[in-house]
């Protein structure tokens, strides 16, 4: 195991982590503000990936089709999420956790089967878009340029979200609703609208994650479950409701997974769960969360 | 109520004489799921602890019995007891960590432990045969026929349900319900809430182990997906379908779920879609599950005296 291979493995882990960050941060935001754990988040990610595949094959006659897809697919998922929130999710905000869990689980089943209905059970592939296909050499070894792009996307989105939440008016309203919903309501904030907006933002992030991951791995049914478990691990480690926590958690999980595969390939899957258990036992609100 | 139960048992007892082996198998599977769901409901409906990990304990029971039957010559009766005991021990370990947390953190921790159990079963090929599962498990001759096994599991399930009923109606059970309603208040009258929750978790794990053992001998195969969180969700859905606040709710849920499963999969490949829609409809319109619906219907239908 040379230094170069180690660095490549590290970068590989981080790039995967950054994609899952996009989905995990959406999950965290939704939990932080709406106080529900949206299990269907993985399915929205899968929907984003399928839409990316569909749009890029439909629009393949346009140059730069992928970039158009990158704009349109997350918007479509956000719109879908908005309708979901307004018509369905609104009814369960006051219900207890089991009901919310099963409700969002039912959405997993429904969205999954809708994808199956629309696009069948085969794997689909999306080709890497033009300026980013091909490898670059890092320290003498090849590394996909697209993965470097993904590593860049993570912090970019994080900085964008942070600026939005902490330096804009709408962000301040969202923070107010997160902190104390009833007070914000009493001060005239349209709380249901804010809830819808935050949910749509979360869905947009999940759709973006799905669209970004499509060129890197196969688009297929079942990708929602895999990413969902990773998201849970990340938001537990980082802290439910905390954006920096989600970023930190994704980095940690990406690195742990990448090195786990090198050190003990058979047990690598378990490392994430072990980390999750350790955090939950020692510091349940996560590394950067606040105790309730 | 007692008359209803006795007549139901009589009906179940004579059923095999009238229906074919396929149906007997189906109803047998239904009992086992009903037992697993009732075991889960002990902590879910009666203690308010939403566990995402019953499948892990269920799989521990199933795999223990499977491994003992395949690898050793230990008498069958002992392996039957070993499954639930191992599940109970696993529940002590898992539960000790989990009951220190509440709400969503409790649920996520149970999920994590269940997935660890799944990973261990899946990856430890040398011991558990991993993804291949353990197949052709030898079951004693007197249980080889479908009808004999039906009666065997019927008896065991009924005994376990009776035990669960006794637990729920005892002072221990009442305390669990008090903990569900208001843990802080219960703590303030001197009850050690953690210890009660851990005991309930272990009992639930024990009965889940019984269900796992029964299913192992029923199916004569065990696979790692018995420990997957999808299986846990299936059990949660069964409890919800029937109604978590009623003792027989999970039994009702299991009947409905099995029938829906078999009927709908014969019509369409989109069973998850239908199940999802059914769950949504239930959550939005039939709160309290089907048992709740029946109970309220009976109450409304009962003639009232003029007051």
Above pLDDT 90, what percent of chain A?
39
B100 touches chain A (CB under 8 A): yes
Domain locations in chain A as residue ranges: 3-282
Reported as a single tens digit per residue, the pLDDT across A139-172 is 777 788 888 888 888 899 999 999 999 999 999 9
Kindly indicate the confidence band of residue A1, based on its pLDDT and cuts at 50, 70 and 90: low
d(CA A183, CA A188): 9
For residues A109-134, average pLDDT = 84
Q: Do B116 and A277 touch (CB under 8 A)?
A: yes
Contact B207, B160 (CB under 8 A): yes
Residue with tokens 């794990």: B205
The pLDDT value recorded for residue B307 is 52
Q: What is the mean pLDDT of residues A99-107?
A: 90
pLDDT confidence of residue B102: 81
Whether B228 and B111 have beta carbons less than 8 Å apart is answered as no
A226 to chain B, any CB pair closer than 8 A? The answer is no
pLDDT of residue A76: 94
Question: Taking residues A210-225, what's their average pLDDT?
Answer: 87
A120 at interface of B, judged by CB pairs closer than 8 A:
no
Q: Model-level pTM?
A: 0.88
Decide: helix, strand or coil at residue A137. strand
Q: How far is CA B20 from CA A108, B27, B72, in A?
A: 36, 11, 34
- Bridge partners of residue A219, in order along the sequence: A124
Interval A235-273: pLDDT, tens: 999 988 889 999 999 999 998 888 888 887 777 788 888
- The predicted-structure confidence for A193-207, as pLDDT tens digits, reads as follows 999 999 999 999 999
State ipTM.
0.85
Tell me yes or no: is domain A3-282 CATH 1.10.3470: yes
Q: Is the pLDDT of residue A50 over 70?
A: yes
Percent of the residues in chain A that have a pLDDT greater than 70, as a whole number? 99
Low-confidence ranges of chain B (pLDDT < 50): none
Closest by Cα among B58, B27, B13 to B262: B27
Q: Do A109 and B108 touch (CB under 8 A)?
A: no
> Which residues of chain A are within 8 Å of residue B105 when distances are taken between CB atoms?
236, 280, 284-285
How many CB pairs below 8 A link A and B? 104
| Shortest Cα–Cα distance, B145 to chain A (Å) | 36
Say if the Cβ atoms of A110 and B97 lie within 8 Å. no
Nearest to B272 among A113, A232, A233 (CB): A113
User: What's the pLDDT score for residue B238?
Assistant: 92
Rg over CA atoms, chain B? 20
Cβ of B109 within 8 Å of Cβ of A240? The answer is: no
């Amino acid at each position: 195991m040379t230094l170069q291979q180690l660095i490549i493995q590290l970068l590989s882990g981080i790039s995967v982590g950054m994609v899952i960050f996009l989905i995990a941060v959406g999950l965290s935001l939704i939990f932080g503000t709406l106080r529900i754990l949206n299990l269907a988040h993985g399915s929205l990610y899968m929907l984003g990936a399928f839409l990316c595949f569909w749009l890029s094959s439909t629009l393949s006659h346009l140059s730069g089709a992928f970039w158009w897809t990158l704009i349109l697919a997350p918007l479509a998922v956000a719109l879908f999420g908005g309708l979901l929130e307004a018509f369905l999710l609104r009814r369960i905000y006051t219900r207890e956790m089991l009901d919310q869990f099963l409700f969002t689980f039912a959405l997993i089943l429904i969205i999954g089967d809708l994808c199956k209905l629309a696009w069948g059970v085969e794997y689909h592939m999306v080709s890497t878009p033009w300026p980013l296909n091909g490898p670059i050499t890092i320290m003498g070894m090849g590394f996909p340029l697209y993965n470097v792009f993904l590593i860049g996307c993570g912090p970019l989105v994080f900085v964008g979200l942070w600026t939005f939440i902490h330096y804009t008016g709408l962000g301040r309203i969202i923070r107010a609703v997160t902190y104390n919903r009833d007070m914000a309501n009493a001060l005239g904030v349209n709380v249901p609208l804010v809830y819808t907006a935050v949910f749509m933002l979360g869905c947009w992030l999940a759709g973006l994650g799905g669209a970004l991951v499509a060129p890197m791995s196969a688009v297929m049914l079942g990708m929602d479950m895999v990413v969902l478990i990773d998201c849970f691990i990340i938001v537990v480690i980082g802290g439910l409701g905390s954006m920096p926590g989600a970023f930190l958690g994704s980095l940690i999980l990406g690195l742990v997974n990448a090195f786990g595969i090198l050190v003990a390939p058979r047990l690598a899957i378990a490392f994430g769960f072990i980390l999750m258990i350790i955090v939950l036992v020692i510091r349940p609100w996560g590394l950067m969360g606040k105790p309730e | 109520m007692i008359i209803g139960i006795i007549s139901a048992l009589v009906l179940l007892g004579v059923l095999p004489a009238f229906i074919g082996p396929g149906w007997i198998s189906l109803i047998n599977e239904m009992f086992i799921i009903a037992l697993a769901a009732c075991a889960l409901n002990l902590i879910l409906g009666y203690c308010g602890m939403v566990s995402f990990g019953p499948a892990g304990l269920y799989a521990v029971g199933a795999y223990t019995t499977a491994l003992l039957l395949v690898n050793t010559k230990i008498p069958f009766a002992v392996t039957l007891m070993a499954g639930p005991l191992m599940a109970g021990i696993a529940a002590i370990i898992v539960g000790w960590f989990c009951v220190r947390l509440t709400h969503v953190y409790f649920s996520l921790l149970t999920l994590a432990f269940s997935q660890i159990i799944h990973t261990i079963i899946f990856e430890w090929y040398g011991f558990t045969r991993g993804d291949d599962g353990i197949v052709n498990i030898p079951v004693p001759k007197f249980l080889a026929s479908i009808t004999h096994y039906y009666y065997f599991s019927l008896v065991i399930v009924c005994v376990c349900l009776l035990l669960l009923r006794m637990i729920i109606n005892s002072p221990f059970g009442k305390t669990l319900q008090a903990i569900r309603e208001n843990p802080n208040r219960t703590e303030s009258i001197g009850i050690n809430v953690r210890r009660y929750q851990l005991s309930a978790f272990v009992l639930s794990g024990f009965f889940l182990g019984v269900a796992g053992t029964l299913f192992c001998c029923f199916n004569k195969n065990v696979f790692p997906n018995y420990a997957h969180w999808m299986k846990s969700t299936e059990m949660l859905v069964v409890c919800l379908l029937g109604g978590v606040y009623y003792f027989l709710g999970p039994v009702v849920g299991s009947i409905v779920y099995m029938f829906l499963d078999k009927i709908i999969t014969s019509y369409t490949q989109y069973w998850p879609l239908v199940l999802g829609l059914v769950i949504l409809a239930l959550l939005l319109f039939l709160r309290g599950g089907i048992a709740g619906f029946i109970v309220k219907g009976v109450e409304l239908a009962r003639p009232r005296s003029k007051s």
